[in-house]
Amino acid sequence: HREVFYLGPSGRDARTEGFARAFRDRKLRPPEAWAPGNYRFSTADGRRAARDLLARRPGATAAFACSDRFAYGVLAELAARGVDVPGKISVIGFDDRSPSQFVSPPLSTVAHPHEEVGKLAAEVLLGKIGGTVKPGEGSRTAVPRFVERESTRALAGSE
């Protein structure tokens, strides 16, 4: 994919920063910053973002939505306009919500490890209470995972 865009609210949140950092870590130029716009984390704004993307960047080949809920709107708008997902554009969400496996096409997504985050938080809290974790310590990392479904595909020649 050469025309990849982040779709979501504007601002410097962890998802936007992580998206750009992933490109830089691979020695690639992050996509233009226009894509994050004046949107909320809603399905309606996902539809609006898809309209904006099609109008401003008709050659887009991939879109990373700020959340699965936002991606549902992106998928709905692309379908309403007859845009083939993933044939013309791949769409990825974030959260791995239950409906993601049932939308059409089933949504590829980044699964946030909620259970692991809870476990790590409890370990840090209990460590602080028990004195085994000192003040200023306690930083832990939970690694998300990619759940590939039918809304994404590799482009010819990219494998």
Residue 128 belongs to a domain: no
* Boundaries of domain holding 100: 4-112
**Res 6: pLDDT:** 86
Residue 64 belongs to a domain: yes
Question: b/e string for 107-132 if b means 16 or more Cβ within 10 A?
Answer: bbbbbeeeeeeeebeeebeeeeeeee
Residue 122 belongs to a domain: no
- Structural domains counted in the chain: 1
In the block, residue with structure tokens 């704004």: 45
**Res 131: pLDDT:** 85
Widest CA span in the chain: 60
Residue 99 belongs to a domain: yes
| Residues 6+ away with beta carbon under 8 Å from 20 | 6, 30
Q: What is the CATH number of the domain that holds 67?
A: 3.40.50.2300
H or E segment and range at residue 110: strand 108-111
Residue 50 belongs to a domain: yes
Residue 23 belongs to a domain: yes
**Res 113: pLDDT:** 87
Q: Which two tokens stand for residue 54?
A: 């099609």
**Res 32: pLDDT:** 64
Residue 121 belongs to a domain: no
Question: Within 13 Å, how many C-alpha atoms sit on residue 122's CB side?
Answer: 6
Nearest to 69 by CA among 37, 48, 89, 45: 45
pLDDT mean for each 10 residues of the chain (159 residues): 82 76 85 66 93 91 94 98 97 95 97 88 87 77 92 78
Residue 106 belongs to a domain: yes
